[in-house]
Structure 1
Amino acid sequence: MPLEQVKRLQRNGSIEHEISIFWVPRRTLVSNTILEEAGIIGDVNIAEFPLYFMPLEQDVLSLEMEGAFSDLYLHKDPGCIFHSAKALMDIQQRHGYFPRIIGKGDHARRLADLLLRMRKELDAEESSGLAGVSARGLLPSASTESLIIIDREVDFGTPLLTQLTYEGLIDETVGIKNNQADIDTSIIGGAATVPQAQESSKGPQQPSSSKQHQKRKIQLDSSDQLFSQLRDANFAIVGDILNKVARRLESDYESRHSAKTTTELREFVNKLPSYQLEHQSLRVHTNLAEEIMRTTRADIFRKLLEVQQNYAAGSDPTYHHDAVEELIARDVALPAVLRLLCLESCMSGGLRPRDLENFKRQIVQAYGHQHILTFCALEKMQLLQPRAPTNPTSLLLPTTTTTAAATGGSPHHHQHSTSPRTNYNTLRKTLRLVVEEVSEKDPNDIAYVYSGFAPLSIRLVQCVLQKPYILSLARGGPVAAPTQAPAPASATTSSPGWLGFEDVVKSARGATFSLVQKGDDKAVRARQTISGAPAIKTVYVFFLGGITFTEIAALRFIAAQEASRRRIIICSTGIVNGDRMMEAAIETGRLA
């Protein structure tokens, strides 16, 4: 512990040390109490380091808050909402206020309210002369179009599905943390070979059995050009991409035989290092893809995927209960079984009480009585619930809808009752979540990421950014590039917020809002006269509670289609998947 190290230095050190403690991302009353109880608060320099977004990629910013999902939905701790607001406020202080804040979900609404409150506080500091130089004269950003906030609980179903993109499957099978994955060297081989003389100088050789279980850390980001091609592709076509790259590399290597002049030979030698790097990357990803393929071809995986896709398509879940019971009897990993039950609960409005009690009894008997607490946690997170014994139309209650014109951050809003659960049965039709004719090789819709199922969370983003296309889909129009879809006169791409989809989004749980942040009209007009309006503006899409790699792939697909009009920056509290959601609830201790 750092505090113990400080005490040891004070007690045993012959040299006087100047010790500083930096709290990340902020200093709190609790942190002060910890230092007071340790008896060192007066002996150290204390400061805070406001580390907010970590750039995982040029288009992905993450707060890397591993516990955000469990804090928000299990422990009901709103700390990550405040942290998210501070991070987004930091962006506003650098680039100007978000002209419009659009969102869905109760926690998303709280985050938007915090942003408005922080703006008021900043305006008050500016009027009193206390604001810093960077915060003075802030206006709505000329380079930003909007901020879209999606609360994870609006769409719990999507992350419970097994991800089918290459990067998503890597995360599902071996796990990705901070753009890195620890892969067994028996799969991808070791790092650069160490000369034998150096190995012998390091000491005795380790047994070969231990070497078989060594891990190698590989970097998974855009610095690897091959991974950039593979990451967002559906795994079904990854083999074709790898084959094409292998043939091209072979052709590049063979080109040395056709080199006749010294200039041509020099060009080949100059390109050789890049060829070698690409060849090494090809070997790693080919071996990794083969290992993933062994997993996806396993009987258990195929059965899990079949049940998941049937739930996503809206088939009667009771037809698949025998398959779930078989998986329990075969002692399949508990997170995989719980994902199926939670997926049914989320997409079907809960399980029949009789079926839920039956599954609880089987799981407790098969995996341990401590999982009575696991079921309590899942119910508290509203991931696994009994079906409400009320009229099915109760699921169609209108959600909170807010339309605000926030002049100086003061919204005027109108609210209605809130839907307790997301009604996937309705949204599956109104937003065309199931797309049977999607192509995985040459996709024309985001549904390719789940081989025919469009993530609800990303469809909601499309309701804001690609209105004509989604309206066309909802009316039974063809699945085509949004620029090719017919655009109704009543809903153009310039329609703000949720306009045109007010009734549709009522079927998703939580508040619906669209807030406009205005500035001084004269100052705004003066800036537009001087600098003009940029041709391409930025849209920030923030996922509160976590985002999956597959959803990132779907957003990148939209970004590629919208590249001529806008740039999309993906932000989140962190990366999640179905297993991590289950691990947040699973009780690890054993009952005596």
Structure 2
Amino acid sequence: MEVDVLQKLSSLQEISKAQLSQIFSTNPNRKYLIIEPSLIKPLERVCGVQWLKASGVEKIFKLESVAPNHQDTPIFYMIPAMFKIFSQVVDQIRAHVDIDKPPTNKYHIIVIPRSLYIFEEELDQFALLGSAVTLHSFQWMPVHLDNGVLSLEMPLIYSTIFVHENYILMPVLAKTLWQLSFITGKPNVILTLGSHSNTILKQYDDICEEKGDSDKDSNFGALIIVDRSVDYPSALLTPGIYAGLLTEVYPVKAGICEYKKVDSTEQVHVDEKCNPIREKQFVNINLNSRQDPIYGDIKNRYFTEVTSVLSNLTKQLKSEKTTSRDMPLDEMKKYVQTQLQATKTRKAFITNHLMAAETIIHIIGCKYEKQKEVELDIMKNFNKSANISYLEEITVTENNMLLSMRLFCLLLITQQLSETEIRSFWKKFLHQFGYDYGFATTHLINLGFITESSQNSLNFSTKLNLKIPKLYSKNFYSNAKILRQIPSDPDKVNLKHPTCASYVYGGSYIPIITQIAGMILNSIPLDEIILKLENFAPVSLRNNKGYPLLSRSLLIFMVGGVTYAEIAACNLLEILTGSRIFILSDRIITGNDLASDILSLPK
């Protein structure tokens, strides 16, 4: 069954190509493609340069302030659904278009994941819509980043849906599930946890009613859809596994971790407040176990084990090099023909991971133990005053507003800071990073981090008269106890040979999707599952005679981003239960991504 699913998932790339080819075919002539830089890596996972050339793309350019000299060549822009970028493209087009004699079928704008109504209004205002410019919506099928890991590479979902409560992109998620059901079938058991997840399922039903439903037997025993807001700690806590720490330190886009050194003559060694900037080693890592078997071996290991594994692999390489020196000529010839290239490739993989591990130690190692100690206390509901003191300390010493914001959010939803404590921290935060971040309080209120009672008595930089939504349940610890998410003794959690999914956070916490998957795989009565989950968020459950599961395979759709720690926890559950769990999300995230979105204005 697993081979069958993987084969089907490999076909997703071909479907994306077919959809993009259909857009390009609207102008069969040779064309230029101008692409916004943030879309380059995801597009490379969908189709390569050779495929684009075969589809009529003569040249590819990055979107810059000035458009290339295209003369009479048709132009296809590819941009994310961001108005600022769209306006830049429109300005470039207007500079080359004679409104009295607009060119026909020359300018095309492909918007990822869908075109917005405001874009049509903008073009219509300048008399460009239809006459000179054609708008296209395109959302590639889920990108198969790694074994059982699927990503839509849609970085705007958490910001638009959760932070700014703009639901215009939500139908894209429902459509993705509908399209996927024609590939892998529609599961007989569907569970949703969270208001947004429930809305997506309803929109999915509407699409099925309008356009038809899949009648294929599903490769998945159950589909689980969960809102990111149901389980913030899984994103806010510092991960302990290699893949998680890698994404904390390095930028990762579409499953590619790439970092190039800044020229040493231009490199800045201190930030604007004279704190030292720790240097990162150059790396280029494909976070795909099939492409990089070394990564496949160490990705889910607790970091303290990773360095010893890499050390042993390095010793093996040295031993192999020594052995090859003593080979007879005929054996040496055979070695060169059959094994040398593989050895060189393995050496490159090991070197990359060694440099990455060194950087992780260099950047995070100095404060990791203290951070872990504080987070363990938070999860155990200990030392609240000391935890707040640590938060205020790193705010004024680390000069890292994302680190401060994610710890602040973690404290808000767990140890529930008082009005005085919130006020004290927020004044320090604004003084340290700038009072222009005062708007972030609105986001924290909309997300439910700050409650109505706290907001009413706090004098923030702006007057807020809003209807305040709240987190579904105030008592984090009682909910976590229901699902046994917090181990009673973290020190007893085996980090080297884990049997508890909490190892991904050093023994402090188990992600909610792992616990839900465990209950379903262990055939816990559905009424009992609903009873346990209804304190977390609105829950719905459909069972079309598929429970207990007919197939021990699950598809989990995390709306708003999923972390590598959550993926690793589910991977461990697979091993312990003899099951198969596939994870789908709009993107792979860290707590820094959530903090960044909270501190950002609409895009």
Same fold (TM over 0.5): yes
Shift in CA distance, 49/450, structure 1 to aligned 2, threshold 3 Å: same
Counterpart position of 2:343:
275
Spell out the pairing of 1:129-148 with structure 2 (5 A cutoff): 138-139=214-215, 141-148=217-224
1:512 aligns with 2:539: yes
1: CA distance, partners of 2:514 / 2:552: 21
Alpha-carbon displacement from aligned partner over 1:270-326 (angstroms, at most 9, x marks no partner): 211111111122122112211211223324x44333222210222142342222233
Counterpart position of 1:440:
495
2: CA distance, partners of 1:386 / 1:259: 76
Spell out the pairing of 1:402-441 with structure 2 (5 A cutoff): 420-421=472-473, 423-435=475-487, 436=490, 437-441=492-496
Counterpart position of 1:582:
595
Counterpart position of 2:77:
none
1:158 aligns with 2:242: no
Contact 2:244 2:565 in 1 (8 A): yes
Counterpart position of 2:67:
none
Contact 1:104 1:149 in 2 (8 A): yes
1: CA distance, partners of 2:594 / 2:125: 34
Of structures 1 and 2, the one scoring higher in RCO (CA 8 A, sep 6+) is: 1
| Larger radius of gyration between Structure 1 and Structure 2 | 1
Contact 2:281 2:356 in 1 (8 A): no
2: CA distance, partners of 1:79 / 1:460: 31
2: CA distance, partners of 1:16 / 1:466: 57
Q: Secondary structure at the match of 1:502?
A: helix
Q: Report how far residue 21 of structure 1 moved.
A: 3.9
1: CA distance, partners of 2:573 / 2:197: 22
Shift in CA distance, 329/567, structure 1 to aligned 2, threshold 3 Å: closer
Q: Which residue, 157, 160, 165 being the options, matches 1:68? A: 157
1:108 aligns with 2:197: yes
2: CA distance, partners of 1:67 / 1:323: 31
Contact 1:256 1:268 in 2 (8 A): no
Unaligned runs of 5+ in 1: 124-134, 187-205, 390-417, 468-492, 520-533
1:461 aligns with 2:516: yes
1: CA distance, partners of 2:594 / 2:502: 23
- 1:515 aligned partner, one-letter code: R
Q: Which residue, 314, 317, 342 being the options, matches 1:246? A: 314
Spell out the pairing of 1:304-343 with structure 2 (5 A cutoff): 304-330=371-397, 332-343=399-410
2: CA distance, partners of 1:251 / 1:207: 35
Q: Report how far residue 106 of structure 1 moved.
A: 1.4
Counterpart position of 2:569:
554
Query: Cα RMSD (Å) of the superposition?
Result: 3.3
Shift in CA distance, 67/215, structure 1 to aligned 2, threshold 3 Å: farther
1:452 aligns with 2:465: no
- 1:66 aligned partner, one-letter code: P
Counterpart position of 2:421:
355
Counterpart position of 1:573:
586
Q: Report how far residue 2 of structure 1 moved.
A: 3.6
Q: Secondary structure at the match of 2:155?
A: coil
1: CA distance, partners of 2:132 / 2:178: 33
Spell out the pairing of 1:382-397 with structure 2 (5 A cutoff): 382-385=448-451
2: CA distance, partners of 1:121 / 1:364: 50
- Of stretches 233-242 and 138-147 in structure 1, the one that deviates more from structure 2 is 138-147
Q: Report how far residue 546 of structure 1 moved.
A: 0.9
Alpha-carbon displacement from aligned partner over 1:336-356 (angstroms, at most 9, x marks no partner): 1222221111113x2111211
Q: Secondary structure at the match of 1:507?
A: coil
Alpha-carbon displacement from aligned partner over 1:428-448 (angstroms, at most 9, x marks no partner): 433332332221111112111
Shift in CA distance, 388/505, structure 1 to aligned 2, threshold 3 Å: farther
Aligned length: 483
Q: Secondary structure at the match of 1:39?
A: coil
- 1:363 aligned partner, one-letter code: F
Counterpart position of 2:58:
none
Q: Report how far residue 120 of structure 1 moved.
A: 1.9
Contact 2:192 2:539 in 1 (8 A): yes
Alpha-carbon displacement from aligned partner over 1:131-158 (angstroms, at most 9, x marks no partner): xxxx6xx325242311101111111122
Q: Which residue, 243, 251, 264 being the options, matches 1:167? A: 243
Q: Secondary structure at the match of 1:55?
A: strand
2: CA distance, partners of 1:30 / 1:98: 36
Q: Secondary structure at the match of 2:150?
A: strand
2: CA distance, partners of 1:60 / 1:154: 21
- Of stretches 60-69 and 368-377 in structure 1, the one that deviates more from structure 2 is 368-377
Contact 1:154 1:422 in 2 (8 A): no
2: CA distance, partners of 1:375 / 1:211: 32
2: CA distance, partners of 1:157 / 1:211: 34
TM-score normalised to the size of structure 2?
Answer: 0.72
Q: Secondary structure at the match of 1:241?
A: helix
Shift in CA distance, 556/284, structure 1 to aligned 2, threshold 3 Å: same
Q: Which residue, 515, 530, 553 being the options, matches 1:502? A: 530
Alpha-carbon displacement from aligned partner over 1:488-514 (angstroms, at most 9, x marks no partner): xxxxx3x56x44333322332x11111
| Shift >6 Å, 4+ stretches | 12-17, 211-215, 386-389
Unaligned runs of 5+ in 2: 1-87, 270-278, 456-469
2: CA distance, partners of 1:80 / 1:422: 29
Contact 1:370 1:587 in 2 (8 A): no
Shift in CA distance, 35/562, structure 1 to aligned 2, threshold 3 Å: farther
Contact 2:102 2:132 in 1 (8 A): no
Alpha-carbon displacement from aligned partner over 1:39-62 (angstroms, at most 9, x marks no partner): 222234554434242222241111
Counterpart position of 1:3:
90
Q: Secondary structure at the match of 1:273?
A: helix
Q: Secondary structure at the match of 1:568?
A: strand
Contact 1:3 1:38 in 2 (8 A): no
1: CA distance, partners of 2:104 / 2:407: 59
2: CA distance, partners of 1:504 / 1:6: 55
- 2:445 aligned partner, one-letter code: E
1: CA distance, partners of 2:267 / 2:390: 38
Contact 1:182 1:215 in 2 (8 A): no
Shift in CA distance, 352/158, structure 1 to aligned 2, threshold 3 Å: same
Shift in CA distance, 377/48, structure 1 to aligned 2, threshold 3 Å: closer
Shift in CA distance, 5/367, structure 1 to aligned 2, threshold 3 Å: closer
Q: Secondary structure at the match of 1:543?
A: strand
Q: Report how far residue 184 of structure 1 moved.
A: 4.5
Alpha-carbon displacement from aligned partner over 1:360-395 (angstroms, at most 9, x marks no partner): 223233333223222232222223447779xxxxxx
- Of stretches 310-319 and 258-267 in structure 1, the one that deviates more from structure 2 is 258-267
2: CA distance, partners of 1:360 / 1:25: 36
Contact 1:185 1:216 in 2 (8 A): yes
1: CA distance, partners of 2:218 / 2:339: 43
Counterpart position of 1:201:
none
Spell out the pairing of 1:503-542 with structure 2 (5 A cutoff): 503-508=531-536, 510-517=537-544, 538-542=553-557
Contact 1:431 1:459 in 2 (8 A): no
Counterpart position of 2:296:
228
1:544 aligns with 2:559: yes
Q: Secondary structure at the match of 2:238?
A: coil
1: CA distance, partners of 2:532 / 2:419: 29
Alpha-carbon displacement from aligned partner over 1:474-529 (angstroms, at most 9, x marks no partner): xxxxxxxxxxxxxxxxxxx3x56x44333322332x1111113589xxxxxxxxxx
